[in-house]
């Protein structure tokens, strides 16, 4: 809680930033005082929405990042799927359903850009997870001051998580011209062109999750509400 005064003409203008109880401790003597009180408190409905979105974003981002289905081979036998971490070959049954899958990390023919993508997107997922944990702990903190600090920390972490993740998504198609993709998706595969392969649900879900995560810092900002109390004049001496 902060209290401060500044002289305007012959009057002393008081401004007080107070917590949930609306009190300002301390003061100064003056013949006529103009008191401005700002009461801050936690908005629990916004906090609940923020926590729910933060946890959902962290879970979906990690899930879609770990999936190999960022690109799939169209009309291939066996079915091909590859992502930032691994490549999988799915053997289809007679009915067309996918059965056993053989998954492995990217081999020597894969692009080195995908390793950079894995580091960037993985780091973004870790930061989103940290933001989600802080948002969960936010509701168990006893004082409004600590809840406000926790929401600010989580907001900065969640905002920072979007940058490396989006950068990794932009860099990933640069590796579509590598020898692995040319072999599996056709010789016409090149940078930002996957040839016979198509964008799959894993990459779409990851991008959608990042777009939703942009709202997390905004929601965190509105978990703290400021209420400006009416101004009044007093001739009392504040101790």
Same domain, 194 and 93: yes
CA distances in angstroms from 163 to 65, 210, 213, 214, listed in the order given: 15, 9, 11, 10
Any domain includes 155: yes
Selected residue with higher pLDDT from 158 and 93? 158
Angle at 102 between CA 200 and CA 178, to 5 degrees: 55
Q: What gap in Å lies between CA 223 and CA 209, rounded to an integer?
A: 21
Q: Average model confidence (pLDDT) for the chain?
A: 81
The pLDDT value recorded for residue 106 is 84
| pTM: predicted TM-score of the whole model, two decimal places | 0.76
| Same-domain pairing of 125 and 15 | no
What per-residue confidence (pLDDT) applies to 122? 97
Cβ neighbour number for residue 216 with a 10 Å cutoff: 27
In angstroms, the Cα distances linking 138 to 19, 97, 147, 148, 213 are: 17, 45, 5, 8, 18
- pLDDT grade, residue 78 (50/70/90)? low
The dihedrals phi and psi of 171, each to the nearest 5 degrees, come to -75, -30
The number of beta carbons lying within 10 Å of the beta carbon of residue 8 is 9
| Greater pLDDT, 102 or 150 | 150
Judgement on whether residues 155 and 78 belong to the same structural domain of the protein: yes
Q: 197 pLDDT exceeds 50?
A: yes
Domain assignment present for residue 17? The answer is yes
Question: Span 87-104, mean pLDDT?
Answer: 67
CATH of the domain at 181: 1.20.140.150
Of the two residues 195 and 93, the one the predictor is more confident about is 195
pLDDT digits 0-9 by tens, 21-74 = 444 444 444 445 556 677 778 888 999 999 999 999 999 999 999 999 999 986
Question: Token digits for 31?
Answer: 């013949």
What's the domain count of the chain? Answer: 2
Residue of higher predicted confidence among 93 and 111: 111
| Residue 16 and residue 108 in one domain | no
One domain, residues 22 and 117? no
Q: Residue 23 sits in which domain range?
A: 2-40+227-234
16 band by pLDDT with thresholds 50, 70 and 90: very low
Q: Tens of pLDDT along 143-187?
A: 888 999 999 999 999 999 999 999 999 999 999 989 999 988 888
- The torsion of the CA quartet 117, 161, 59, 207, rounded to 10 degrees, works out to -60
Tokens found for residue 119: 């580091």
Residue of 165 and 9 predicted with greater confidence: 165
Q: What is the pLDDT at residue 126?
A: 98
pLDDT for residue 35: 63
What pLDDT score does 211 carry? 96
31 in the same domain as 82: no
What is the distance between the alpha carbons of residues 113 and 174, in angstroms, rounded to a whole number? 7
Whether pLDDT at 238 is above 50: no
- pLDDT for 21 equals 46
The pLDDT, as a whole number, for residue 61 is: 97
């Amino acid at each position: 809680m902060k209290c401060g005064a500044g002289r305007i003409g012959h009057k002393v203008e008081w401004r007080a930033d107070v917590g949930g109880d609306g009190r300002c401790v301390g003061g100064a003597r003056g013949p006529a005082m103009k008191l401005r009180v700002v009461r801050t408190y936690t908005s629990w409905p916004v906090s609940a929405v923020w926590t729910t979105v933060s946890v959902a974003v962290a879970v979906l981002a990690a899930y879609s990042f770990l999936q190999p289905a960022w690109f799939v081979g169209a009309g291939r036998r066996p079915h091909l799927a590859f992502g930032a971490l691994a490549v999988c070959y799915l053997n289809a049954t007679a009915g067309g359903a996918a059965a056993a899958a053989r998954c492995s990390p990217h081999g020597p023919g894969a692009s080195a850009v995908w390793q950079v993508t894995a580091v960037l997107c993985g780091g973004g997922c870790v930061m989103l997870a940290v933001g989600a944990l802080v948002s969960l702990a936010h509701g168990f903190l006893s004082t409004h001051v600590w809840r406000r600090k926790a929401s600010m920390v989580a907001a900065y972490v969640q905002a920072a998580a979007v940058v490396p993740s989006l950068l990794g998504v932009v860099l990933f198609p640069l590796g579509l011209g590598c020898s692995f993709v040319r072999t599996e998706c056709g010789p016409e595969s090149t940078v930002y062109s996957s040839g016979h392969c198509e964008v799959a649900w894993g990459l779409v879900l990851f991008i959608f999750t990042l777009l939703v995560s942009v709202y997390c810092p905004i929601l965190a900002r509105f978990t703290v509400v400021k209420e400006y109390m009416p101004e009044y004049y007093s001739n009392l001496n504040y101790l």
